Every structure is written in C-alpha cells, then in structure tokens.
Amino acid sequence: MESTVSNIWQKSKLLIKGLMIGALVLLLLIPAFFVQDLIKEREQRQKEAVMEVSSKWAGRQNITGPVLVIPFDEKITASNGTVSHSRQLAYFLPDKLDMKSAVAPVKKYRGIYEVMLYTADVAISGKFSPLPLTKIKVNSADLLWNEAYICMGITDSRGLKEEIKMKWNDSLLSLAPQLINNAIFKEAFVAPVTLAEADITNGISFSGSVQVSGSEQLLYTPVGKETTVTMQSAWPDPSFTGSQLPLSSDITDSGFSAQWKSLSLTRSFPQQWRNDSYILSAASFGTDLFIPVNGYQKTMRSVKYAILCILLTFTAFFLIETTNKKSVHPVQYALIGFALILFYTLLLSFSEYVGFNTAYGIAALATVGLITWFVKGLLGSSKLSMLLSFVLVLLYSYVFTILQLQDYALLLGSVGLFLTLAVVMYFSRKIQW
C-alpha cells in the first residue's frame, strides 16, 4: 500500500514540477518585456543623436529645377465693358534635363552613436525648347520679359557649400535665396534672366552645378520633359525610393551606381502652365542614404524569440534531469532563466560598440558558458552539462539564422519548431507521467 502511494506521489510530483516550470516560463516573460522597453529607450536615444547631428549639418535634400517663370498682364473685360489688368505668372519647364551626381558618405559621431551623412556634387544641364506660348494662351506682347526669372528648389539651404552658379546661354547667373511664394515655391534660389527674341524662337541651353550636404535622403524632381539622373556613391546600402525605381543600378560592397529616366507623361503636372499650383515634389525619386536594419532592430527581433529560447532550454533540461533520475529545484530553473534573459542585455550593450553579429557571438558564448558551468555543478556530470550546452548552441545558432534570413524566417521557423517538437515527443515517451 505504501509503495503504491509512493509511486503515485512520485508521478504527481513530476507533473507538479512540470507545471511549476511552465509557470516559471511565463513569469520570465515579465523581465523580457522590460528588456524590450530598454531597447526602445536606447533606440530613441540613438534617433535623438541622429537628429541633433543632422540639425547642425543638413536634413533631407530634394533638388528641383530650374523652372522659368515669366510674369504677364492678363486683360479682364467686365460686363459693363471696362477693362482691367491682372498680374499673372507663366511657368515653363525644360524639355531636356540631365543631372549627374557624385555622393560621398560622411561619418560623424555623437557619443557612442554613429551618424551617417553625405555630401553631393550635382552637375545640371539641359535645354528649354522654343516657348510654347500658344499652349497657355498668352500673347508675346503681354509677357513682361524684363521681369522673367529662373528658380530652383533645395529643401535645406543650410547644406549648400558653394554659391549656385548657372550658365544661361552665354550669360553667367548667380542664384540667391529669396522668398517668392509663387505657385510652386514658397522660397527658392532665384536669378533674374534677360530674354531676347532669339531665345524665344531658338530655345535656351543651361548648365551649372550644386554642391550640397544632407542626411538620410537625396531626391531629384524630374521637371524636364525628359529627365535623366545618374548617381554614384561609395555608399554600400542604398535604398531607392520615390515615385519610380532606377532604370538600371549596380550595387557592390564598395558602393553603387544608378540611373533614372523620367518622361513628362508619367507626372501629374504639365510642361507649361499659367497660374495653377502644382506640388512638383510628388514626382521626386532618389535614394535613402542611411544605415540599414541596425542593432536595435535586430536585438528587438531576437527578444521576441525569448519565450522560445526559455521554453526549449527548460524542456531540454527537464528531460535530461528526469531521464537520468536527477533532481533540480525550481529555484535553480529560475536562475538558468535569468541567465537566458541576461543574454539580451549583454547583446544590447555589446552591439552598441562592436555591432550586432559580434555582440551576438559574445553574449551567446557567455550565456552558454555560464549555464554549462552551473549545470555541471548541479548534476555532477560533464556529459550531461555538455549535452545541454550543445542544445543551447543549436538553439542560439537557429535563432541567429532566422534573424539573418528575413525572407525565409517564417519557413525556417516553422520547420525548426516542427523538428524540435518531434525530438521532445520522442524523448518524453520515456517519462511515466
């Protein structure tokens, strides 16, 4: 009778311990959430450092233009026959626009945080064809030719390194910042131009250069009837963005080159118009120039696998101690769980200095070593402790692989969990629940 009661107690004790370990897994998710908050805090601090450095350097840049603007007097006849004059603006975009840019990355630091900026040399050339006055229904005699000007838009003028100079046929223009508040710009770089009769009938050629610095993004607005943009840089991780992707691109470890070609047919604004307001930047395209998926994002993703790591480690430990008739107190399970949680704080702190991949190796090596040493003292067996360390190495390698293969993360995760469940089911058959 006593033997039967003892067997029932032993089996009940095993079941109760299993339930306690399951509850412990759930409790350990609480510090895991605190680690996620810590990662968000550190990431926010990094963003603040980037914003602070960028605010003293220059922000995102979008280069627009040149646009030719010519004022004209519009005659308005009232119902009583009186005639009044209204000052209006006519806008003309170039038929051909070519932009060639060389972008150099610039690395700055704010404390431990790395901030990537850039400088760009942009060569601009193109041509205005004979002005199609009939398309906008304006008479040549009504145009105020002596008040014509060209304007260019640059998002953050703090990034200009040199004065913008442009060759306009045989003239040399200097564009200066000015509040103009016309239909496309509130403020822009403006230069008055002198137009002759030959310019109207033969067209106007122009060329110039812009030296600008910025951060995060460099865009171009295709104001030409045919616009070509080329960009070359030593930046290894470009992210093409905007209204269209490049026609061709070549990305290597030493940098990238890309070429865009845009036609006026693909835009939402015309080649010439009068009075109407258009948002030209809606057609912009270019490249995001920033550090891709950083250590904080990868660390956050790895924390989301915390329940998997804790559960599989506890399951392996429970099967090892049960099949080898060893007894480990739940408190000692808790200590192993805390070591698994500290893995993420080690990963976070080291990744800020040596990068995510190296930090992952350091944190995994430290965690596996600590747990192996602890389990060897508990079970008194080098063989069993090495078995658990082998399981941990496989587990951390598995999670690291999932983090690297974003496109195949779901597939690899599903297959890995299925195989893990099969192994657990196989060894659990030896336990008399």
Single out the residue of 106, 128, 127, 126 nearest to residue 117, CA to CA. Answer: 106
- Tens-digit pLDDT profile for residues 414-430: 777 677 777 767 766 66
Q: How confident is the model at residue 197 (pLDDT cuts 50, 70, 90)?
A: low
Sign of CA dihedral 295, 300, 304, 309: positive
Q: How confident is the model at residue 23 (pLDDT cuts 50, 70, 90)?
A: confident
Q: What pLDDT does 84 receive? A: 62
- What average pLDDT does the segment 310-317 reach? 84
pLDDT of 41 over the 80 cut:
yes
Q: Which two tokens stand for residue 277?
A: 């307001």
Q: Which two tokens stand for residue 200?
A: 């109207």
Q: Measured between alpha carbons, how far is 242 from 277 in angstroms, rounded to an integer?
A: 21
Q: Is 318 helix (H, G, I), strand (E, B) or coil?
A: helix
Q: What pLDDT does 184 receive? A: 87
Q: How confident is the model at residue 324 (pLDDT cuts 50, 70, 90)?
A: confident
Q: What pLDDT does 67 receive? A: 94
| Cα-based distances in Å from 431 to 319, 322, 327, 375, 421 | 8, 7, 14, 21, 16
- Cis before 132 (ω within 30): no
Q: Is 152 helix (H, G, I), strand (E, B) or coil?
A: strand
pLDDT of 16 over the 60 cut:
yes
Helix axes 382-404, 356-379, angle to 10 degrees: 160
Query: H or E stretch including 427?
Result: helix 409-428
- What average pLDDT does the segment 394-403 reach? 86
Mean pLDDT value across the chain:
85
pLDDT of 242 over the 50 cut:
yes
User: Comparing 160-164, 251-255, 282-286, 399-403, which segment has the lowest mean pLDDT?
Assistant: 399-403
Q: Which two tokens stand for residue 183?
A: 């239909």
- Tens-digit pLDDT profile for residues 340-379: 999 999 999 998 888 888 999 999 999 999 999 988 888 8
- Tens-digit pLDDT profile for residues 52-106: 888 889 989 999 989 999 988 877 665 555 656 678 889 999 999 999 999 999 8
Q: What pLDDT does 150 receive? A: 93
Give the global pTM. 0.76
The answer to whether the CB of 402 falls within 8 A of the CB of 409 is: yes
The answer to whether the CB of 313 falls within 8 A of the CB of 374 is: no
Q: What pLDDT does 141 receive? A: 81
Sign of CA dihedral 337, 338, 339, 341: positive
Q: Measured between alpha carbons, how far is 381 from 389 in angstroms, rounded to an integer?
A: 12
- Tens-digit pLDDT profile for residues 132-159: 888 888 888 888 888 899 999 999 999 9
Residue indicated by tokens 């920033």? 290
Q: Measured between alpha carbons, how far is 259 from 287 in angstroms, rounded to an integer?
A: 11
Q: What pLDDT does 143 receive? A: 84
When mean pLDDT is compared over 142-151, 225-234, 308-317, 379-388, the highest value belongs to: 225-234
Q: What pLDDT does 1 receive? A: 47
Q: What pLDDT does 192 receive? A: 93
If you ran DSSP here, which 8-state letter would residue 173 be given?
Answer: E
CATH number of 59-292: 1.10.10, 2.60.40, 1.20.120, 1.10.8? 2.60.40
If you ran DSSP here, which 8-state letter would residue 169 be given?
Answer: T
Q: What are phi and psi of 115, to 5 degrees?
A: -120, 125
The answer to whether the CB of 99 falls within 8 A of the CB of 229 is: yes
Q: What pLDDT does 431 receive? A: 58
pLDDT of 405 over the 80 cut:
no
pLDDT of 320 over the 90 cut:
no
Q: Measured between alpha carbons, how far is 106 from 121 in angstroms, rounded to an integer?
A: 14
Q: How confident is the model at residue 246 (pLDDT cuts 50, 70, 90)?
A: very high
- Specify the domain boundaries for CATH 2.60.40 within the chain: 59-292
